[in-house]
Structure 1
Amino acid sequence: MPTYHDPLQDAGDASAALRGLAHAGRVFDNPPDTYSVLGDLLFGVRSLRQVLDQLGSAHLAHRGRAHDDDGDQAIGAAEALAAADDLHHAGTLLDGVEERVNAAMTHSGRIAWHTPAQELDREAVSTEAPRRWISVVFLQGSEADEVLDLIDRDGADAAIEHLRNWDYGDETTDAALENGYVYDEPPTGQLDRVITDGDYALTYNPFMGHVSLLRAHPAAMSGPGPDETGVVPAREAISGVGPLDSSTPRYSVTPASARAQQGPAVVERDWFAGPARSAGSAGRGLSL
């Protein structure tokens, strides 16, 4: 994991990660995966360009300490200037690389990859029960940034474990069914990444700044109820659009919240908000 403060360790980790990608990328069994890999590489090229500029600036800033093996400072300073010049030139050349990778990603994003016929035949005879997905929580803005930092630091599994705090079991299921937060597949947009862990699916996009956790629910396959008239399109799902039609209120009262309203001092719970906090508690910040 990146340290964000030790360039030696982070450079070694980046080199090892690229070697691993070069080995793993020899075969792409699922061609749609190439689009996600291109997105990560594009981000990596931009970061590499920044690193080259930083290395060049370091040579310039410390050229007064540069000497050759014989202790000649003038020669050492000249070598530092030459190194800085080549590094900045390399960074400029990467602008063209970024442009080409970005163009390739645009073309790749327009491809609809079809499943081979033999795989379709295997899927036709599959006995696995189909699943649908209900939304547990959708975060964007600063709350999503905290979870994205957690993913960078501790991995997607830690983020899933953290977001499971928003899952209230049957109450979350009832709220999702009543409000139409039910999907045939986890909704995704461009550059979204999907991580599945058992009955949970984590979708996140570090570029757009949003995070979502969904839970598989076989019981949702029993046909739409009066408030479940269809499946929310991915574009609406990732932008936080709620009901499926105009007749469905965005925040319907769930059976659990109806029971809660019977008590004099109980406030209706928002099933898609974070866990309750006391008024004096600090913000839910995540340390780096």
Structure 2
Amino acid sequence: MPTFQNPTADAADASEALRGLAHATRVFEDPADTYAVLGDLLAGVRSLRQVFDQVATVHVTHRVRAYDDAGDQAAGATNALTATAELQQAAALVDAVHDRVDAAMAASGRIAWHPEPTDPPSVSRWVSVVFLQGQDADEVLAIIDRDGANTAIEHLAGFDMGDETTQAALVNGYVYDAIPAGLLDRTTRSGEYMLTYNHDHGHVSLLRTHPEPPEPAAEAPAAKRTPARPKARRQTEMVEDEDDPFAPSRSSSLSRGRAL
């Protein structure tokens, strides 16, 4: 619980609360809950901006009490002023964060979340369209930084030759059941394309969905055919019986059958 008086204790509590939030937001049972989370984060960003301002003020106000480890007051005051300038710059950056979070919250509030579809997805595999690294990847990473990931996807989609790209991926084994991305890779999806990239490792990859071919319908087992009765032979036997003067009459045979 916040003390509202002890900055050290409240800072520790805030750090622990953010750590818990980072863990909890790995999975959302209901995506609609993201709107409430963004609202609380927006309030937190406003408070964080105020904290940076106030800590900066403390450094500049009490700079006469600042010394370095060697006891040099001038050096300590210089460090205090440097800290003040950096904190003021951080506060300005938080203003930009606030605007971005505010815009994200407004967009999230316009979403009408539907229940998760129960039908299995029609796409279960991904084919590699292009993989770039080194200088080629640097050019695309620059596009991402300048114009956004969607623009980079449009640029890399020019490498997609349709069926030719799919066949090449199938032959070379560049077909994946899940997105081949490392822990530090970032991903962005646009339509049928998935972009993965990593600034630190300097690589970019574009993949395209590959519909799983429908499984052939199981053939119904062949119906067992009932052997046909030898009707012609029976009719022949009947004719022969009728022509035989010593054969018992049909009526007497039927009478005996009913009697039994």
The TM-score with structure 2 as length reference comes to 0.45
Larger relative contact order (C-alpha < 8 A, sep ≥ 6)?
A: 1
More helix by share: 2
Larger radius of gyration: 2
